[in-house]
Amino acid sequence: MSKTRIQDAFSKGGGIFRLAPSWVPRPFNKPGKRLKLHPDDYYAYGIHNGAIVERWFSSVTNVITPGGAEDVGLSYVDTDGTAEGKVLFREAMSELGADLIGRELKEKYGTFPMYAKFFDYQYALFHHLHHGQESAELVGMNSKPEHYYFPVQYNNHPGDFPVTYFGFDPSVTKEEVRDCLRDFNNFDTRITRLSRAFRLEAGTGWYTPPRVLHAPGSLLTYEPQWNSDVFSVWENVVSGEPMSYKLLASCIPEDKEHDLDYIFDLMDWEANICSDYRERYFRPPIPCGDSPEYSEKWICYGNPYIAAKEITVNPGQTYIAKDEAAYGCVVAQGYGSFGAYRCEAANMIRFGQLSADEFFVSEDAAKAGVKIKNDAVYEPLVILKHFGPNCNMPDA
């Protein structure tokens, strides 16, 4: 039955799927409440799993929440506009293969190798890193390069700390950092005193490679990233909230959990203390198309893994958007049509409710062009599109 649903939806959608919202809770921090989720639904997974602070897009990667649902983080295809008609995006990927993501991604990765998310925290996140591929593979996971973009449409307030720490100041020594790891369980080490911070600016972004410490600030963030949820937390008290040692030793082989040399070596020291960090990793948008009908810009680029564009179709206009690779997307503002579907940015979504703001476009449909029509009188139709590594993104 699900195979029939997948094939029928793919055909009727002209190679485009509409996806259902995928909500993710976390047992730390505080929600910024900018996800357009109904205010009564932030604890829909249960208090023990924490508040919903993320929404994932085009995801075949799931989050294991203690005592929670096994499909948290996984995207579903909305095949017929009913909750009963939902089918796992992962299952559609398996069924359609190269017809959905193209031969290159299928042969190299076997799946769509990235996903995107909105993360929405009231306070800054902890100073943490994502493992390199070698150490991630030891625990059956992938490395996690990631890119940030701060959409103006979702940042009606900046949260309590719209500043991100990256790496460490070049004057910091390895021993100073090791001391923070040694004292993780003893007292507040204030590890970010060794870092350097940058004020975040809506409408811009940053690339963060694996093995670099970072403490993301409190703007709602659109984050295209590799297929992984691997991380290690190095900050032990965050906005007054103590972190468990289990978070420092997260995604580490059991016999290495108390090996501070092993944990320290998860970090790329030279990348963390580079003196030109902003020059290397800050990503202002790069325009790549403009006419009376539309404008488009690269918002995530300059790395070997992940990319994103923001396209704006002007009020009352129609534009056929052509791309070289399969992509997922979310409507950030406005309403109209996207290919064979009606589309609309979300104002408020109930947990479990379907929406018309998220889609996945097959490679063939992307190359043929997706017709986007803005039905508004005054409001632009703005769509964020996330790609894998085969989209011909510009260099930094």
Q: What is the pLDDT of residue 68?
A: 64
Q: Tell me the pLDDT band of 330, cut-offs 50, 70 and 90.
A: very high
Place of tokens 């940042």: 155
CA separation for the pair 207, 227 (Å, rounded): 16
How, if at all, do strands 16-20 and 358-361 pair? antiparallel
Q: What is the pLDDT of residue 396?
A: 83
Cβ atoms of 52 and 218 within 8 Å: the answer is no
Cβ atoms of 189 and 245 within 8 Å: the answer is no
Q: Which residue type sits at 244?
A: S
Q: Tell me the pLDDT band of 65, cut-offs 50, 70 and 90.
A: low
pTM given for the model: 0.96
In whole angstroms, how large is the CA radius of gyration of the chain?
21
Q: What is the pLDDT of residue 5?
A: 95
Average pLDDT over the chain, rounded to whole? 96
3-state SS of the chain: helix, strand, coil percent to 5?
20, 30, 45
Taking the mean position of all CA atoms in its chain, how far away is CA 387?
11
Q: What is the pLDDT of residue 134?
A: 96
Predicted confidence (pLDDT) per residue in 166-197, tens digit: 999 999 999 999 999 999 999 999 999 999 99
Q: What is the pLDDT of residue 1?
A: 66
> CATH top-level class for 2-283?
mainly beta
Q: Tell me the pLDDT band of 392, cut-offs 50, 70 and 90.
A: very high
Cβ atoms of 64 and 78 within 8 Å: the answer is no
Burial 17-36 (b: 16+ CB within 10 A, else e): bbbbbbbbbbebbbbbbbbb
Quickly list H helices, the chain.
2-12, 89-96, 98-101, 103-109, 133-137, 174-182, 245-248, 260-264, 269-272, 277-281, 363-368
What would the two tokens of residue 166 be?
């990256």
Predicted confidence (pLDDT) per residue in 122-172, tens digit: 999 999 999 999 999 999 999 999 999 999 999 999 999 999 999 999 999
- Mean pLDDT computed over 270-293: 97
pLDDT above 90 (res 63): no
CA separation for the pair 184, 207 (Å, rounded): 28
Taking the mean position of all CA atoms in its chain, how far away is CA 196?
23
CA separation for the pair 19, 108 (Å, rounded): 24
Q: What is the pLDDT of residue 245?
A: 97
CA separation for the pair 117, 128 (Å, rounded): 18
What would the two tokens of residue 106 be?
């299928």
Q: Could you tell me what percent of the chain has a pLDDT over 90? A: 96
Cβ atoms of 335 and 373 within 8 Å: the answer is no
pLDDT above 80 (res 67): no
Q: Tell me the pLDDT band of 359, cut-offs 50, 70 and 90.
A: very high
Predicted confidence (pLDDT) per residue in 224-266, tens digit: 999 998 999 999 999 999 999 999 999 999 999 999 999 999 9
Q: Tell me the pLDDT band of 66, cut-offs 50, 70 and 90.
A: low
